[in-house]
Protein backbone atom coordinates (compact mmCIF):
# COMPACT_ATOMS: atom_id res chain seq x y z
CA UNK A 1 0.00 0.00 0.00
CA UNK A 2 2.79 2.34 1.01
CA UNK A 3 4.43 1.94 -2.40
CA UNK A 4 1.17 2.60 -4.19
CA UNK A 5 0.75 5.90 -2.38
CA UNK A 6 4.33 6.98 -2.97
CA UNK A 7 4.02 6.11 -6.63
CA UNK A 8 0.64 7.81 -7.03
CA UNK A 9 1.97 11.03 -5.51
CA UNK A 10 5.19 10.84 -7.49
CA UNK A 11 3.16 10.68 -10.68
CA UNK A 12 1.35 13.81 -9.54
CA UNK A 13 4.62 15.70 -9.09
CA UNK A 14 5.11 15.25 -5.35
CA UNK A 15 8.68 14.47 -4.28
CA UNK A 16 9.54 11.94 -1.57
CA UNK A 17 10.64 14.78 0.73
CA UNK A 18 7.33 16.61 0.44
CA UNK A 19 5.39 13.37 0.86
CA UNK A 20 7.34 12.29 3.93
CA UNK A 21 6.96 15.63 5.64
CA UNK A 22 3.23 15.71 4.86
CA UNK A 23 2.73 12.17 6.13
CA UNK A 24 4.47 13.07 9.35
CA UNK A 25 2.23 16.13 9.79
CA UNK A 26 -0.89 14.12 9.04
CA UNK A 27 0.13 11.45 11.50
CA UNK A 28 0.41 14.07 14.25
CA UNK A 29 -3.16 15.25 13.60
CA UNK A 30 -4.93 11.91 13.99
CA UNK A 31 -6.47 12.60 17.38
CA UNK A 32 -7.58 16.06 16.46
CA UNK A 33 -9.19 14.80 13.28
CA UNK A 34 -11.03 12.12 15.24
CA UNK A 35 -12.50 14.82 17.51
CA UNK A 36 -13.63 16.80 14.48
CA UNK A 37 -15.29 13.72 13.04
CA UNK A 38 -17.59 13.65 16.08
CA UNK A 39 -18.83 17.17 15.34
CA UNK A 40 -19.41 16.18 11.72
CA UNK A 41 -21.27 13.07 12.81
CA UNK A 42 -23.66 15.18 14.89
CA UNK A 43 -24.14 17.70 12.11
CA UNK A 44 -24.80 14.93 9.59
CA UNK A 45 -27.54 13.60 11.85
CA UNK A 46 -28.92 17.11 12.35
CA UNK A 47 -29.30 17.57 8.57
CA UNK A 48 -30.67 14.08 8.02
CA UNK A 49 -33.17 14.41 10.83
CA UNK A 50 -34.47 17.73 9.41
CA UNK A 51 -34.97 16.13 6.00
CA UNK A 52 -36.77 13.14 7.48
CA UNK A 53 -38.95 15.27 9.74
CA UNK A 54 -40.19 17.27 6.76
CA UNK A 55 -40.69 14.09 4.74
CA UNK A 56 -38.61 15.07 1.77
CA UNK A 57 -39.63 12.96 -1.18
CA UNK A 58 -38.80 12.65 -4.86
CA UNK A 59 -41.53 15.16 -5.70
CA UNK A 60 -39.53 17.85 -3.86
CA UNK A 61 -36.57 17.48 -6.17
CA UNK A 62 -38.30 18.57 -9.38
CA UNK A 63 -38.25 21.98 -11.08
CA UNK A 64 -40.77 24.78 -11.51
CA UNK A 65 -40.68 27.55 -14.10
CA UNK A 66 -42.29 30.96 -14.59
CA UNK A 67 -43.69 32.43 -11.40
CA UNK A 68 -42.88 29.27 -9.51
CA UNK A 69 -46.11 29.25 -7.51
CA UNK A 70 -46.52 26.28 -5.17
CA UNK A 71 -42.99 25.01 -5.61
CA UNK A 72 -43.16 22.17 -3.09
CA UNK A 73 -39.42 21.58 -3.10
CA UNK A 74 -38.59 25.21 -2.42
CA UNK A 75 -41.05 25.42 0.45
CA UNK A 76 -39.82 22.17 1.99
CA UNK A 77 -36.18 23.20 1.62
CA UNK A 78 -36.89 26.40 3.53
CA UNK A 79 -38.51 24.39 6.32
CA UNK A 80 -35.46 22.13 6.43
CA UNK A 81 -33.07 25.10 6.66
CA UNK A 82 -35.19 26.66 9.43
CA UNK A 83 -35.10 23.34 11.28
CA UNK A 84 -31.32 23.00 10.98
CA UNK A 85 -30.60 26.58 12.01
CA UNK A 86 -33.22 26.50 14.76
CA UNK A 87 -35.15 29.50 13.40
CA UNK A 88 -38.82 30.32 12.85
CA UNK A 89 -38.38 30.87 9.14
CA UNK A 90 -35.93 30.69 6.25
CA UNK A 91 -35.50 32.14 2.79
CA UNK A 92 -33.32 29.91 0.59
CA UNK A 93 -33.36 30.94 -3.02
CA UNK A 94 -31.60 30.57 -6.33
CA UNK A 95 -32.60 34.19 -6.97
CA UNK A 96 -30.15 35.25 -4.25
CA UNK A 97 -27.06 35.56 -6.43
CA UNK A 98 -24.31 35.35 -3.78
CA UNK A 99 -23.48 35.99 -0.14
CA UNK A 100 -23.16 39.74 -0.63
CA UNK A 101 -26.64 39.82 -2.15
CA UNK A 102 -28.11 37.83 0.74
CA UNK A 103 -26.52 40.27 3.20
CA UNK A 104 -27.79 43.26 1.23
CA UNK A 105 -31.34 41.85 1.31
CA UNK A 106 -31.19 41.06 5.04
CA UNK A 107 -29.99 44.57 5.86
CA UNK A 108 -32.02 46.68 3.46
CA UNK A 109 -35.26 44.81 4.18
CA UNK A 110 -35.04 45.27 7.92
CA UNK A 111 -33.77 48.85 8.08
CA UNK A 112 -35.78 52.00 7.38
CA UNK A 113 -34.74 55.63 6.80
CA UNK A 114 -33.50 57.13 10.07
CA UNK A 115 -32.39 53.78 11.48
CA UNK A 116 -28.84 53.16 12.56
CA UNK A 117 -26.74 50.07 11.86
CA UNK A 118 -23.73 49.16 14.01
CA UNK A 119 -20.89 46.73 13.38
CA UNK A 120 -19.60 45.86 16.86
CA UNK A 121 -16.78 43.74 15.38
CA UNK A 122 -14.79 46.33 13.44
CA UNK A 123 -14.52 46.64 9.69
CA UNK A 124 -16.89 44.29 7.84
CA UNK A 125 -16.17 42.24 4.70
CA UNK A 126 -15.01 44.25 1.71
CA UNK A 127 -18.27 44.07 -0.27
CA UNK A 128 -20.26 45.21 2.78
CA UNK A 129 -18.63 48.63 2.52
CA UNK A 130 -20.64 49.36 -0.61
CA UNK A 131 -23.89 47.92 0.76
CA UNK A 132 -23.61 50.13 3.80
CA UNK A 133 -22.17 53.10 1.92
CA UNK A 134 -18.87 53.28 3.82
CA UNK A 135 -17.56 53.67 0.28
CA UNK A 136 -20.14 55.78 -1.56
CA UNK A 137 -22.13 53.52 -3.84
CA UNK A 138 -25.35 53.63 -5.84
CA UNK A 139 -28.24 52.12 -3.89
CA UNK A 140 -26.33 51.92 -0.61
CA UNK A 141 -28.07 52.06 2.78
CA UNK A 142 -26.53 55.52 3.24
CA UNK A 143 -28.44 56.76 0.18
CA UNK A 144 -31.65 55.61 1.87
CA UNK A 145 -30.85 57.50 5.06
CA UNK A 146 -29.58 54.61 7.16
CA UNK A 147 -26.62 55.68 9.27
CA UNK A 148 -23.73 53.45 10.28
CA UNK A 149 -21.28 53.19 13.14
CA UNK A 150 -18.46 50.78 13.73
CA UNK A 151 -16.87 49.76 17.01
CA UNK A 152 -13.33 48.46 16.59
CA UNK A 153 -12.20 45.28 18.30
CA UNK A 154 -9.77 45.59 21.19
CA UNK A 155 -6.11 45.00 20.53
CA UNK A 156 -6.37 41.34 21.55
CA UNK A 157 -9.19 40.75 19.06
CA UNK A 158 -11.99 40.68 21.65
CA UNK A 159 -15.14 42.82 21.78
CA UNK A 160 -14.98 46.36 23.14
CA UNK A 161 -18.07 46.02 25.34
CA UNK A 162 -17.71 49.52 26.77
CA UNK A 163 -17.41 50.99 23.28
CA UNK A 164 -20.41 49.00 22.05
CA UNK A 165 -22.53 50.18 24.96
CA UNK A 166 -21.58 53.79 24.26
CA UNK A 167 -22.28 53.44 20.54
CA UNK A 168 -25.86 52.22 21.00
CA UNK A 169 -28.46 54.98 20.72
CA UNK A 170 -32.24 55.28 20.37
CA UNK A 171 -31.77 55.04 16.62
CA UNK A 172 -29.87 51.74 16.76
CA UNK A 173 -32.05 49.22 14.95
CA UNK A 174 -29.63 46.52 13.97
CA UNK A 175 -26.19 44.98 14.56
CA UNK A 176 -24.20 43.31 11.82
CA UNK A 177 -21.87 40.71 13.30
CA UNK A 178 -19.40 38.99 11.02
CA UNK A 179 -18.42 35.56 12.31
CA UNK A 180 -15.53 34.80 9.97
CA UNK A 181 -12.42 36.94 9.81
CA UNK A 182 -12.95 36.97 6.04
CA UNK A 183 -9.78 38.31 4.48
CA UNK A 184 -8.45 39.98 7.60
CA UNK A 185 -6.11 38.56 10.20
CA UNK A 186 -8.34 39.14 13.22
CA UNK A 187 -9.56 35.96 14.91
CA UNK A 188 -12.81 34.37 13.78
CA UNK A 189 -15.43 34.35 16.53
CA UNK A 190 -16.75 31.17 18.04
CA UNK A 191 -20.50 30.67 18.26
CA UNK A 192 -20.13 30.95 22.03
CA UNK A 193 -18.43 34.36 21.77
CA UNK A 194 -21.14 35.55 19.39
CA UNK A 195 -23.76 34.38 21.86
CA UNK A 196 -22.13 36.41 24.63
CA UNK A 197 -22.02 39.48 22.43
CA UNK A 198 -25.69 39.12 21.49
CA UNK A 199 -26.71 38.68 25.15
CA UNK A 200 -24.83 41.87 26.00
CA UNK A 201 -26.58 43.81 23.22
CA UNK A 202 -30.05 42.39 24.04
CA UNK A 203 -29.52 43.34 27.67
CA UNK A 204 -29.13 46.96 26.65
CA UNK A 205 -32.05 46.84 24.20
CA UNK A 206 -33.85 43.59 23.36
CA UNK A 207 -35.36 45.16 20.23
CA UNK A 208 -32.04 45.54 18.43
CA UNK A 209 -31.95 43.03 15.59
CA UNK A 210 -28.74 40.97 15.67
CA UNK A 211 -27.76 39.72 12.23
CA UNK A 212 -24.80 37.37 11.80
CA UNK A 213 -22.85 37.09 8.56
CA UNK A 214 -22.38 33.32 8.79
CA UNK A 215 -20.30 32.90 5.61
CA UNK A 216 -17.73 30.07 5.89
CA UNK A 217 -18.94 29.16 9.37
CA UNK A 218 -21.79 26.72 8.74
CA UNK A 219 -21.33 23.22 10.21
CA UNK A 220 -17.89 24.00 11.65
CA UNK A 221 -19.32 23.76 15.16
CA UNK A 222 -22.26 21.91 16.69
CA UNK A 223 -24.26 25.13 17.03
CA UNK A 224 -24.95 28.01 14.70
CA UNK A 225 -25.25 31.67 15.80
CA UNK A 226 -29.05 31.34 15.50
CA UNK A 227 -28.89 28.83 18.36
CA UNK A 228 -27.41 31.49 20.64
CA UNK A 229 -29.73 34.41 20.03
CA UNK A 230 -29.06 35.76 16.53
CA UNK A 231 -32.25 37.10 14.93
CA UNK A 232 -30.88 36.36 11.46
CA UNK A 233 -28.06 34.27 10.02
CA UNK A 234 -27.04 34.87 6.44
CA UNK A 235 -24.80 33.03 4.02
CA UNK A 236 -23.93 31.82 0.54
CA UNK A 237 -24.79 28.46 -1.00
CA UNK A 238 -21.58 28.37 -3.00
CA UNK A 239 -19.80 28.16 0.33
CA UNK A 240 -20.40 25.65 3.16
CA UNK A 241 -24.15 24.85 3.12
CA UNK A 242 -24.30 24.22 -0.64
CA UNK A 243 -21.93 21.30 -0.12
CA UNK A 244 -20.23 21.99 -3.46
CA UNK A 245 -23.36 21.05 -5.41
CA UNK A 246 -25.51 24.18 -5.21
CA UNK A 247 -24.77 26.08 -8.44
CA UNK A 248 -25.97 29.45 -7.05
CA UNK A 249 -27.94 30.80 -4.12
CA UNK A 250 -28.02 32.27 -0.66
CA UNK A 251 -29.96 31.88 2.56
CA UNK A 252 -31.44 34.02 5.30
CA UNK A 253 -32.69 32.12 8.35
CA UNK A 254 -34.24 33.94 11.27
CA UNK A 255 -37.31 35.22 13.04
CA UNK A 256 -40.58 35.19 11.14
CA UNK A 257 -40.62 38.97 10.96
CA UNK A 258 -37.04 39.42 9.75
CA UNK A 259 -37.38 36.72 7.09
CA UNK A 260 -40.76 38.05 5.95
CA UNK A 261 -39.23 41.48 5.45
CA UNK A 262 -36.43 39.81 3.49
CA UNK A 263 -38.69 38.01 1.05
CA UNK A 264 -40.75 41.11 0.30
CA UNK A 265 -37.49 42.84 -0.49
CA UNK A 266 -36.09 39.97 -2.59
CA UNK A 267 -39.17 39.79 -4.82
CA UNK A 268 -41.78 42.55 -4.41
CA UNK A 269 -44.18 43.90 -1.82
CA UNK A 270 -47.31 41.75 -2.05
CA UNK A 271 -45.52 38.85 -3.74
CA UNK A 272 -43.02 37.84 -1.09
CA UNK A 273 -42.10 34.18 -0.85
CA UNK A 274 -44.90 33.00 -3.17
CA UNK A 275 -42.86 33.49 -6.34
CA UNK A 276 -39.42 32.27 -7.33
CA UNK A 277 -39.14 29.35 -9.74
CA UNK A 278 -36.41 26.88 -8.90
CA UNK A 279 -35.60 25.91 -12.51
CA UNK A 280 -34.20 22.53 -11.49
CA UNK A 281 -31.86 23.45 -8.61
CA UNK A 282 -33.89 21.80 -5.83
CA UNK A 283 -32.15 18.46 -6.07
CA UNK A 284 -28.70 20.04 -5.84
CA UNK A 285 -29.78 22.30 -2.97
CA UNK A 286 -31.03 19.30 -1.01
CA UNK A 287 -28.16 17.00 -1.90
CA UNK A 288 -25.57 19.72 -1.34
CA UNK A 289 -27.03 20.46 2.09
CA UNK A 290 -27.00 16.75 2.86
CA UNK A 291 -23.31 16.56 1.90
CA UNK A 292 -22.34 19.85 3.55
CA UNK A 293 -21.23 18.55 7.00
CA UNK A 294 -18.88 16.08 5.30
CA UNK A 295 -17.55 18.65 2.84
CA UNK A 296 -16.92 21.17 5.63
CA UNK A 297 -15.11 18.43 7.56
CA UNK A 298 -12.73 17.86 4.64
CA UNK A 299 -12.12 21.57 4.09
CA UNK A 300 -11.43 22.11 7.80
CA UNK A 301 -9.01 19.21 7.99
CA UNK A 302 -7.24 20.62 4.93
CA UNK A 303 -6.95 24.02 6.63
CA UNK A 304 -5.57 22.47 9.82
CA UNK A 305 -3.15 20.34 7.82
CA UNK A 306 -1.96 23.48 6.01
CA UNK A 307 -1.45 25.42 9.25
CA UNK A 308 0.57 22.60 10.76
CA UNK A 309 2.67 22.11 7.65
CA UNK A 310 3.46 25.76 6.99
CA UNK A 311 4.00 26.64 10.63
CA UNK A 312 6.48 23.80 10.81
CA UNK A 313 8.26 25.37 7.83
CA UNK A 314 8.51 28.66 9.73
CA UNK A 315 5.60 30.68 8.31
CA UNK A 316 3.01 32.49 10.38
CA UNK A 317 -0.45 30.97 10.13
CA UNK A 318 -3.84 32.39 11.19
CA UNK A 319 -5.43 30.44 12.80
CA UNK A 320 -2.25 28.82 14.10
CA UNK A 321 -1.51 25.09 14.11
CA UNK A 322 -3.26 24.30 17.38
CA UNK A 323 -6.06 26.81 18.01
CA UNK A 324 -9.72 25.89 17.71
CA UNK A 325 -11.55 26.53 14.44
CA UNK A 326 -14.68 28.55 13.77
CA UNK A 327 -14.52 28.90 9.99
CA UNK A 328 -12.76 27.17 7.08
CA UNK A 329 -10.36 29.97 6.04
CA UNK A 330 -6.62 29.55 6.52
CA UNK A 331 -4.15 32.41 6.18
CA UNK A 332 -0.43 31.82 5.61
CA UNK A 333 1.97 34.76 5.61
CA UNK A 334 5.05 34.56 3.40
CA UNK A 335 6.48 38.13 3.35
CA UNK A 336 7.59 37.30 -0.19
CA UNK A 337 5.68 37.78 -3.47
CA UNK A 338 7.47 34.86 -5.18
CA UNK A 339 6.37 32.43 -2.50
CA UNK A 340 2.79 33.69 -2.69
CA UNK A 341 2.76 33.12 -6.44
CA UNK A 342 4.27 29.64 -6.13
CA UNK A 343 1.74 28.68 -3.45
CA UNK A 344 -1.16 29.77 -5.64
CA UNK A 345 0.30 27.99 -8.68
CA UNK A 346 0.42 24.78 -6.67
CA UNK A 347 -3.24 25.12 -5.65
CA UNK A 348 -4.20 25.74 -9.28
CA UNK A 349 -2.17 22.77 -10.56
CA UNK A 350 -4.02 20.58 -8.06
CA UNK A 351 -7.48 21.50 -9.37
CA UNK A 352 -9.82 19.14 -11.23
CA UNK A 353 -10.73 21.97 -13.65
CA UNK A 354 -8.23 24.34 -15.30
CA UNK A 355 -5.20 22.63 -13.74
CA UNK A 356 -3.23 23.50 -16.88
CA UNK A 357 -3.68 27.24 -16.27
CA UNK A 358 -1.07 29.36 -14.43
CA UNK A 359 -2.53 32.09 -12.21
CA UNK A 360 -0.87 35.51 -12.24
CA UNK A 361 -1.40 38.68 -10.16
CA UNK A 362 -3.92 41.00 -11.82
CA UNK A 363 -5.77 44.24 -10.98
CA UNK A 364 -9.23 43.50 -9.52
CA UNK A 365 -12.22 45.77 -8.97
CA UNK A 366 -12.54 46.72 -5.32
CA UNK A 367 -8.85 46.23 -4.55
CA UNK A 368 -6.12 48.85 -4.51
CA UNK A 369 -3.39 46.41 -5.58
CA UNK A 370 -2.95 43.37 -7.84
CA UNK A 371 -4.53 40.15 -6.64
CA UNK A 372 -3.60 36.56 -7.47
CA UNK A 373 -6.36 33.96 -7.43
CA UNK A 374 -6.14 30.21 -7.78
CA UNK A 375 -9.37 28.34 -8.43
CA UNK A 376 -10.27 25.42 -10.58
CA UNK A 377 -13.84 24.82 -9.58
CA UNK A 378 -16.87 23.00 -11.00
CA UNK A 379 -19.00 25.95 -9.87
CA UNK A 380 -17.48 29.23 -10.99
CA UNK A 381 -16.08 31.14 -8.02
CA UNK A 382 -17.24 28.58 -5.47
CA UNK A 383 -14.91 28.97 -2.53
CA UNK A 384 -16.09 25.77 -0.82
CA UNK A 385 -13.99 24.21 -3.59
CA UNK A 386 -10.22 24.32 -3.26
CA UNK A 387 -9.17 27.92 -3.80
CA UNK A 388 -6.60 30.50 -2.70
CA UNK A 389 -6.13 34.19 -3.17
CA UNK A 390 -3.74 36.88 -2.10
CA UNK A 391 -3.50 40.65 -2.45
CA UNK A 392 0.02 41.39 -3.68
CA UNK A 393 1.30 43.59 -0.89
CA UNK A 394 3.06 43.21 2.47
CA UNK A 395 2.78 41.04 4.46
CA UNK A 396 2.09 38.81 1.43
CA UNK A 397 -0.57 36.66 3.04
CA UNK A 398 -2.37 33.91 1.14
CA UNK A 399 -5.94 33.05 2.10
CA UNK A 400 -6.72 29.46 1.40
CA UNK A 401 -10.02 27.63 1.76
CA UNK A 402 -12.19 24.76 0.67
CA UNK A 403 -11.73 21.40 -0.94
CA UNK A 404 -14.65 19.09 -1.59
CA UNK A 405 -12.84 16.28 0.20
CA UNK A 406 -10.00 16.14 2.69
CA UNK A 407 -7.85 14.17 0.28
CA UNK A 408 -8.18 16.84 -2.35
CA UNK A 409 -7.55 19.70 0.08
CA UNK A 410 -4.47 17.85 1.34
CA UNK A 411 -3.22 17.26 -2.18
CA UNK A 412 -3.64 20.96 -2.98
CA UNK A 413 -1.50 21.89 0.01
CA UNK A 414 1.09 19.27 -0.95
CA UNK A 415 1.16 20.66 -4.47
CA UNK A 416 1.65 24.19 -3.14
CA UNK A 417 4.67 23.00 -1.20
CA UNK A 418 5.92 21.02 -4.20
CA UNK A 419 5.77 24.21 -6.26
CA UNK A 420 7.73 26.17 -3.63
CA UNK A 421 10.28 23.36 -3.63
CA UNK A 422 10.45 23.17 -7.42
CA UNK A 423 11.13 26.90 -7.69
CA UNK A 424 13.92 26.65 -5.10
CA UNK A 425 12.03 28.90 -2.67
CA UNK A 426 12.07 26.45 0.17
CA UNK A 427 14.37 23.82 1.61
CA UNK A 428 12.71 20.79 3.08
CA UNK A 429 14.72 19.39 5.95
CA UNK A 430 13.10 16.30 7.41
C1 LIG B 1 -17.73 35.36 1.05
C2 LIG B 1 -18.15 36.29 2.10
C3 LIG B 1 -19.11 37.27 1.86
C4 LIG B 1 -19.69 37.57 0.50
O5 LIG B 1 -20.05 36.48 -0.22
P6 LIG B 1 -20.01 36.47 -1.82
O7 LIG B 1 -20.73 35.23 -2.13
O8 LIG B 1 -18.58 36.44 -2.22
O9 LIG B 1 -20.71 37.68 -2.30
C10 LIG B 1 -19.48 38.07 2.92
N11 LIG B 1 -18.95 37.92 4.14
C12 LIG B 1 -18.01 37.00 4.41
C13 LIG B 1 -17.44 36.88 5.78
C14 LIG B 1 -17.59 36.15 3.39
O15 LIG B 1 -16.66 35.23 3.66
Q: Is the distance from CB of 387 to CB of 373 less than 8 angstroms? A: yes
Q: What are the distances in angstroms from CA 72 to CA 60, 75, 279? A: 6, 5, 13
Tell me the average pLDDT across 274-285. 97
Q: Which residue's CA lies nearest to atom 7 of ligand 1? A: 99
pLDDT at 368: 77
Confidence band for 100, pLDDT divided at 50, 70 and 90:
very high
- Return the best residue to mutate from 94, 194, 239, 399 for the ligand 1 pocket (most ligand atoms within 8 A of CB): 239
Q: What is the mean pLDDT of the chain?
A: 96
Query: Which residue owns the Cα nearest ligand 1 atom 8?
Result: 99
Separation of CA 127 and ligand 1 centre (Å) = 8
C-alpha distance from residue 57 to each of 60, 69, 268, 352 (Å): 6, 19, 30, 32
**Given pLDDT bands bounded at 50, 70 and 90, which one contains residue 365?**
confident
Q: Looking at residue 376, what is its pLDDT?
A: 95
Confirm or reject: Cβ of 215 under 6 Å from ligand 1.
yes
Q: Which residues in the chain are classed under CATH 3.90.1150.60?
A: 2-43+290-422
Q: What is the pLDDT of residues 214-254, one digit of tens each?
A: 999 999 999 999 999 999 999 999 999 999 999 999 999 99
130-159 confidence digits (pLDDT tens): 999 999 999 999 999 999 999 999 999 999
Distance, in Å, from the CA atom of 149 to the CA atom of 141, rounded to the nearest integer, reads: 12
Arithmetic mean of pLDDT, 286-294: 98
Q: What is the pLDDT of residue 346?
A: 98
Q: Is the CB of 281 under 6 A from ligand 1?
A: no
Distance 337 CA to ligand 1 centre (A): 25
CA-to-CA distance for 106 and 145, rounded, in angstroms?
A: 16
Give the 3-state secondary structure of residue 397.
strand
The best mutation among 93, 96, 100, 214 to test binding of ligand 1, ranked by most ligand atoms within 8 Å of the C-beta, falls on 100
Report the alpha-carbon angle 406-179-390, nearest 5.
60
Q: CATH 3.40.640.10 occupies which residues in the chain?
A: 63-280
Architecture of domain 2-43+290-422: Alpha-Beta Complex (3.90)
For atom 5 of ligand 1, the residue with the nearest CA is 99
Q: Using 50, 70 and 90 to split pLDDT, how confident is the model at 429?
A: confident
Between CA 385 and CA 382 the distance in angstroms is 6
Q: What is the pLDDT of residue 186?
A: 86
Residue 352 Cα to ligand 1 middle (Å): 23
What architecture is the 63-280 domain classified under in CATH?
3-Layer(aba) Sandwich (3.40)
Strands 232-236 and 209-213: parallel
C-alpha 72/C-alpha 64 separation (Å) is: 9
The total of other beta-carbon atoms located within 10 Å of residue 165's CB is 14
Amino acid sequence: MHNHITEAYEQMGISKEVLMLCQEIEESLKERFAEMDKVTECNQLKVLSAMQKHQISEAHLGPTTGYGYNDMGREALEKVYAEIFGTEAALVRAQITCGTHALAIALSSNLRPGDELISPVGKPYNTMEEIIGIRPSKGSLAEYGVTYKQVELLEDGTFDYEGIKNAISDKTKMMTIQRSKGYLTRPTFSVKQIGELISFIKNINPNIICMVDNCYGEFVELDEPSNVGADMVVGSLIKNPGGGLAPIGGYICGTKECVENAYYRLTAPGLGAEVGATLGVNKDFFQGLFNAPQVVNGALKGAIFAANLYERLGFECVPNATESRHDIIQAVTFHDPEKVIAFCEGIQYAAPIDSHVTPTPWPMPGYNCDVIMAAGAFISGASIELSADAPMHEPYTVYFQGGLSYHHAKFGIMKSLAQLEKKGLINIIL
